[in-house]
Amino acid sequence: MKILITGGAGFLGLRLARRILDRGAVAGPDGQPREVTRIVLADMANAPIEDPRVTSLVGDIADPAFVDAALGGDCASVFHLAAVVSGQAEADFDLGLRVNLDATRLLLEACRRLPRPPRLVFTSSVAVFGGALPTPVPETWILNPQNSYGTQKAIGELLVNDHSRKGFIDGRAVRLPTISVRPGRPNKAASSFASGIIREPLAGEIATCPVPPHTPIWLSSPRTAIAHLLQAHDAPAGAFGTGRSLNTPGLTVTAGEMVATLERVAGREVASRVRWEPDEAVAGIVMRWPDRLETVRAEAMGMRPEPDFESIVRAYLAGE
Ligand SMILES: NC(=O)c1ccc[n+]([C@@H]2O[C@H](COP(=O)([O-])OP(=O)(O)OC[C@H]3O[C@@H](n4cnc5c(N)ncnc54)[C@H](O)[C@@H]3O)[C@@H](O)[C@H]2O)c1
């Protein structure tokens, strides 16, 4: 069967593709494991994967011709990851709307034209919640995003839900926690520091933390996030009940606890490379995000968080 991953050259997209290639199979339309014969990675960037099953398509996901070419007439599953991240969507309102909302709508419309409704996993975010929040945030809590990225993800969730209700797709919107530790360089996500305060000190560089140490963050490791995307994909539609949006398990860790963990794992000198310099713009976004979500349905599907943040840091050091 053929799978499309939009944003397939990105951080999670590449890892997801590699994981699917390793597994060799995912749930087919009937829920039974099906061999994956082709993965199309659609992105603005070329995806560096050498595998005969992989095709990398470079283009703009907001371009209808590109979406049609990527989907083809025979796609059984779609993972829709292409997006501009929170800080960028906030700084460039039009770009956020075009990539995060218009392209999602285009993709859903194109899926609707396929001969058979595909499974579709949409990567949403905890940023769909906001305002005065209970802890943990119930799965059915009102969507009240406090920034443009969260608003675009919330609309995407509703569209995935309605297209599923109509039988156009078999959709699942997965509210991923902030992912840490992300390798590479800082990105334009407001939560970029949640990786930077671990990654940069370990690389011998100074890192700046823009939120106070007591700020709690709802976190997942990359490997857990990928596992949860696949579990959400493979779960039967009936496991979602009346709504297709899913809170996935994470850990609540404060920025201060993250740096204390770094000190425990890598020593005091490494941890001393973190500078605490509050940035109101970043803190204004991050401190409005929920710090703990109810994840009853995801747990019933077998999803589990990492045991603790130290396991996440050690996995990063081990190169996972
Ligand atoms: N990483 C996290 O902490 C996190 C948390 C919650 C949700 N998410 C969501 O998960 C998804 C993947 O996140 P990521 O961390 O891999 O982000 P990423 O920025 O690494 O990947 C996104 C990819 O989308 C591509 N893209 C952007 N605009 C495009 C366009 N117009 N046409 C084609 N491709 C385009 C980018 O080139 C990039 O490769 C996103 O939808 C993101 O909103 C991520």
CB of 45 closer than 8 Å to CB of 58: yes
Half-sphere exposure of 144 (CA within 13 A, CB side): 12
Which tokens in the block code for residue 258?
Answer: 């993250």
Domains within the chain, CATH numbers bracketed: 2-177+222-247 (3.40.50.720)
Q: What is the Cα–Cα distance from 20 to 33, expressed in whole angstroms?
A: 12
Ligand 1 site, residue 92, Cβ cutoff 6 A? no
pLDDT of 207 reads 96
Which phi and psi angles does 55 have, rounded to 5°?
-120, 125
The predicted pLDDT at position 145 comes to 94
Please report the sign of the dihedral spanned by the C-alpha atoms of residue 204, residue 209, residue 213, residue 219.
Answer: negative
Q: How far is the CA of 221 from the CAs of 145, 182, 235, 312, in angstroms? A: 24, 8, 21, 6
Residues 6+ apart with CB under 8 A from 7: 13, 42, 43, 61, 80, 81, 82, 83
Profile the chain (320 residues) by mean pLDDT over runs of 10 residues: 97 97 96 97 96 98 97 96 92 97 98 96 95 92 94 98 98 96 88 95 96 95 97 97 95 97 97 95 86 96 96 92
pTM of the model: 0.96
Residue among 49, 97, 121, 123 to mutate when testing ligand 1 (max atoms within 8 A of CB) = 123
Q: Is the CB of 99 under 6 A from ligand 1?
A: yes
The pLDDT, as a whole number, for residue 206 is: 97
pLDDT of 65: 97
pLDDT at residue number 264: 97
Taking the centre of ligand 1 as the mean of its atom positions, its distance from the CA of residue 101, in whole angstroms, is 13
Query: Given this model, what pLDDT does residue 166 score?
Result: 97
Protein residue whose Cα sits closest to atom 13 of ligand 1: 12
Tell me which residues are annotated as active site: 149
Predicted pLDDT at 288: 82
